[in-house]
Amino acid sequence: MECRVLSIQSHVVRGYVGNKSASFPLQLLGFEVDSINSVQFSNHTGYSHWKGQVLTADELHVLYEGIKLNNVHHYDYVLTGYTRDTSFLEMVVDIVQELKRANPNLVYVCDPVLGDHGSMYVPQNLYPVYKNKVVPVADIITPNQFEAELLTGKNISTEKDAVEVMDLLHAMGPDTVVITSSDLPSRLGDRFLVSLGSQRHVRPDGSRTTQRVRLEVPKVDAVFVGTGDLFAAMLLAWTHHYPTDLKVHTHKQTQKKLFGAQSKVPESLRNRSRLFKDLQRFDELVL
């Protein structure tokens, strides 16, 4: 049966971020992907210079109305990432709510792109929109540590702090929270990155239970832009196959992403760092 995703995030001419990171991998996994570009830039904003256009709410509304007029606005998932306009982001919320009314089983996966390493790389006026409007309608969110701290107002210094932050995010709405990267120390040493996840379930008797996941993955001494966009897309894909087992779908998508990245890293880097030998131990790292 066809599974259709509406992906609303950035587009760049040069490089692979946003929809260019998310759409093709999802298509390879059998999903039909309809893409709306929140921005159209020459390249990602990490470059010294970039040019392009930022879509507004009115422009998004026109595109969505065109889809509706043809009665092809039926989706199983909505995936959102980088945006730069508050009115656009508010319109995204309106669209998600309308699509959920049409399909109560629709799952909204939100990567709340705000910043990283203590600084924001989108306009600051997006923050209250994410906190007060976007996160409450999301089913799955994938913030990094900085974004999770910003959304909850709580710093993460220990794993206990991280669990409390994920619970605060659950209380805001999403049943699945994955902190995609953190500064927490790994028990395997400083060559590993710690990610954490939490998923709430409702038992048949109506009570709730929560599954926690800790991932420790090898660091690579290089910069890869767009990996967060790919992560969110693959999390969506494996959630579709394993909707009630966070451990399985985070394991599957992270494993595939790591082995895919290995093939793209120059041989000299692999030989110098020896980090990719640790991929053989990946199955041991999912708790």
The verdict on residue 286 lying in a domain is: no
The per-residue pLDDT for 222 is: 84
Residue 229 annotated as catalytic: yes
The verdict on residue 266 lying in a domain is: no
Residue 20's pLDDT band (boundaries 50, 70, 90)? very high
Per-residue pLDDT for 99 more than 60?
A: yes
- Please compute the mean of the pLDDT values over residues 210-214 and round it to a whole number: 94
Distance of alpha carbon 189 from alpha carbon 51, whole angstroms: 41
The per-residue pLDDT for 96 is: 99
Q: How many domains are contained in the chain? A: 1
The verdict on residue 76 lying in a domain is: yes
Place of tokens 């256009």: 53
Residue 223's pLDDT band (boundaries 50, 70, 90)? confident
Residue 273's pLDDT band (boundaries 50, 70, 90)? very low
The string over 110-124, giving b where at least 16 C-beta atoms fall within 10 Å of a residue's C-beta and e elsewhere, is: bbbbbbbeeeeebee
The one catalytic residue among 85, 111, 139, 229: 229
The per-residue pLDDT for 287 is: 38
Distance of alpha carbon 246 from alpha carbon 242, whole angstroms: 8
Q: Of 159, 102, 109, 138, whose CA–CA distance to 287 is shortest?
A: 159
Chain-wide mean pLDDT for the chain?
88
- Please compute the mean of the pLDDT values over residues 270-282 and round it to a whole number: 41
Domain membership of residue 234 as a residue range: 4-251
Distance of alpha carbon 170 from alpha carbon 30, whole angstroms: 30
Distance of alpha carbon 194 from alpha carbon 218, whole angstroms: 9
The per-residue pLDDT for 280 is: 39
- Please compute the mean of the pLDDT values over residues 124-143 and round it to a whole number: 98
Q: Is the dihedral of CA 244, 169, 184, 181 positive or negative?
A: positive
Residue 242's pLDDT band (boundaries 50, 70, 90)? confident
The verdict on residue 285 lying in a domain is: no
- Please compute the mean of the pLDDT values over residues 182-208 and round it to a whole number: 92
Per-residue pLDDT for 230 more than 50?
A: yes
Per-residue pLDDT for 34 more than 80?
A: yes
Give the least confident one: 92-101, 224-233, 249-258. 249-258
- Which residues share a beta bridge with 5? 33, 77
Predicted TM-score (pTM) of the model is 0.87
Q: What is the pLDDT of residues 142-155, one digit of tens each?
A: 999 999 999 999 99
Q: What percent of the chain has pLDDT over 70?
A: 86
The per-residue pLDDT for 271 is: 45
Phi, psi for 108 (deg, rounded to 5): -105, 115
Q: What percent of the chain has pLDDT over 90?
A: 75
The verdict on residue 262 lying in a domain is: no
The verdict on residue 160 lying in a domain is: yes
Residue 221's pLDDT band (boundaries 50, 70, 90)? confident
The per-residue pLDDT for 224 is: 85
Per-residue pLDDT for 270 more than 70?
A: no
Q: What is the pLDDT of residues 100-116, one digit of tens each?
A: 999 999 999 999 999 99
The per-residue pLDDT for 274 is: 42
The CATH number linked to 64 is 3.40.1190.20
The verdict on residue 196 lying in a domain is: yes
Residue 273 in tokens: 């760092």
The verdict on residue 287 lying in a domain is: no
Q: What is the pLDDT of residues 82-93, one digit of tens each?
A: 999 999 999 999
Distance of alpha carbon 178 from alpha carbon 215, whole angstroms: 10
